[in-house]
Amino acid sequence: MSPVFDCDVHCDVPGLEAIAPYLSRHWRDRFGENRWAGPAGIGHVYPPAVVSERLGDLEAVRAAALSGPADRALLNCYYGVEMIRHPDLTAELSAAVNSWLREEFLAADDRLRASLVVPVEYPEAAAAEIRRWSREDGFVQVLMPVVSQTTYGNRRYWPIYRAAAERGFAIGLHFGGVSGAPPTASGWPDSYIEEVAANASVFQGQLLSLVAEGFFQEFPGLRLTLMESGVTWLPTILWRFDKMWKSYRREIPWVKRLPSIDLRERVRLTTQPLDLPTDPGRALEFLETMELEPLLLYSSDRPHLHGADCEVLIERMPAERRAKVLYENAEQWYGLA
């Protein structure tokens, strides 16, 4: 059997008690006094309707993610730390989650890798947290919720990218996040389903910002993974990026070539949830016409509910291409070998 790397599995901090050993006395006392259960962002980003179970320890992760088609996996632990405004608390929660990830999962099972949780809105603190870790610890990526207070190309975030580049981590933008601002330029949608739909355009806004501000020139080795973003919107956006770049490049002279060239080299997207037509033949035709397969990293997004048709689709790919999506693209991307 050829190897399969699942690039997006979600473990959850099962409760504050799990990370309490890594928190200072000060914060443990405060949480106790407030009977606080942790950041509220998790339930907002993933309401019960989309979650089959919460993977709170190694056994749960093994059962859910390593007993199916995949024999290795990348863990993303969304904990809503970005919604905490207190600069020390958001940093300390992030550090505690990372220590927990390392002890509970990475040190115990070498089939697992993880993304680092960082206080994204305090970039210097985030950079310091990134520098606490290395690839030897099992971390391969910095997790950044796609919803942020300011577009991620903005230079105030650059300390994060500099630290990630130094450590050889990829930058992973992931669905979700809580910023307090509406997820569309016309305010708040009425439903979760609309917010999820709108999330694709938030990814587009972040990509646009990263292109415009010169992320790809400033950090030439840095890789950018889009997770749970959907993939089909990408070509339509690249056309528009390229067209507008031809018009406006004197405003952003550091972008020296068509944005689509940099993006195709430096961006990868995880497969689940699929936003392709349900008919696998049509879906594959689309991927091929738009030359998207080389950019895809297999993911199950377990334990979130999407249905099994991602696996069905990949099964239908010719063997050589299937192996790339299931493993080789990720192996190269994350340097797994």
Partner 1 sequence: MGLIDCDIHHMLPSQAQIMPYLDERWRRYHERFGMRGLLETQYWVTTTHVAAARVDSFPPNGLMPGSDLPFLREQLLDEWGIDYGVLNVSEVFQFSAQKGDYGAALTRAINDWTLAEWLEPEPRLRSSIAATVDNVEAALGEIERHGEDPRFVQVLITLRNEAPMGDRRYWPIYRAAAERGLPIAVHVGGIAGHPPSGAGWHSFYFEMHTGHVQPYQAHAASLALNGVFDEIPELKIVFVEGGFSWMVPLSWRLDRLWGVLREEVPDLRRAPSEYLREHFWFTTQPIEEPDDEAQFEYMVEALGLEERLMFATDYPHWDFDAPDRALPRYLSAAAKAKIFNANARSLYDLPAAAEALA
Q: Which residues bind partner 1 (CB under 8 A)?
A: 49-50, 146-154, 179, 181-194, 196-202, 204-206, 208-209, 212-213, 230, 232-233, 235-237, 239-241, 243-245, 247-252, 273-278, 286, 289-290, 305-307
Give whichever of 106 and 126 is closer to partner 1, judged by the CB atom: 126
Least distance from partner 1 to the Cβ atom of residue 334, Å: 25
Nearer to partner 1, 265 or 285 (CB): 285
Rounded least distance, CB 150 to partner 1, Å: 4
- Residue 115 CA: distances (Å) to CA of 68, 77, 134, 135, 270: 21, 7, 11, 10, 14
326 DSSP 8-state letter: I
User: Shortest gap between Cβ of 64 and partner 1 (angstroms)?
Assistant: 18
Q: What phi and psi values does residue 310 have, to the nearest 5 degrees?
A: -65, -50
Which structure tokens are listed for 221?
Answer: 């080795």
Q: 51 or 60, CB closer to partner 1?
A: 51
Q: What is the DSSP string of 169-225?
A: PEEEEES----SS-SSTT---SSHHHHHHHHHHHHHHHHHHHHHHTHHHHSTT--EE
Q: Smallest distance from the beta carbon of 97 to partner 1, in angstroms? A: 24
Give the DSSP letter string of 127-162. HHHHHT--GGGTEEEEEEES--SS-TTSGGGHHHHH
Cα diameter, the chain: 58
The number of C-alpha atoms within 13 Å of 250 and in the hemisphere containing its C-beta is 1
Q: How far is the CB of 41 from partner 1 (least distance, A)?
A: 16
**What is the smallest separation between the CB atom of 123 and partner 1, expressed in angstroms?**
14
CB of 115 to partner 1, least distance (A): 20
Nearer to partner 1, 37 or 181 (CB): 181
13 vs 296 by CB, closer to partner 1: 296
Contact criterion met (CB below 8 Å) for 161 and 215: yes
Please give the C-alpha separations between residue 329 and each of 113, 188, 208, 226, in angstroms, as whole numbers: 16, 37, 24, 14
Q: Which is nearer to partner 1, 154 or 332 (CB)?
A: 154
Closer residue to partner 1 in complex, CB, 14/235: 235
Residue 257 CB, nearest approach to partner 1 (Å): 15
192-213 helix and 259-266 helix, angle to the nearest 10 degrees:
110
Between 87 and 182, whose beta carbon lies closer to partner 1? 182
List of residues 6+ apart from 126 with CB closer than 8 A: 91, 94, 118, 119, 120, 142, 159, 160, 163
